[in-house]
Amino acid sequence: MAEKTIMLACAAGMSTSMLVKKMQDAAKAAGKDYEIFATSTSDVDEKLASSNKPDVVLLGPQVSYMKKEIQAKTDAAGIPLDVINMMDYGMMKGDNVLKTAEALIS
């Protein structure tokens, strides 16, 4: 089982899936066993209610307008949340986004 689970939420999960791969590569290179996955914002409730809840949730910058709504849900579940830095997202800097997630978890 993975040490930590990182969930990225965006509109449809397409471009965020590419970022997930970059984050997985960065985690593997650092010798970390993380489960990192992308989902649609419409599936956040289901993921937060599952037995394998994420340790942290990162929102894609394109859905940052939903932060307040989703923050209420993650706060209730005791899970930290933040919006992915737009530059890191656009440049697909998986290592930087991974560091953001780790900072929220610790």
User: CB of 66 within 8 A of CB of 59?
Assistant: yes
Q: Is 10 a catalytic residue?
A: yes
- Helix ranges (H only) for the chain are 14-29, 44-49, 67-77, 86-90, 94-105
Which residue among the candidates 10, 20, 27, 36 is catalytic per the annotation? 10
Query: What positions carry a catalytic annotation?
Result: 10
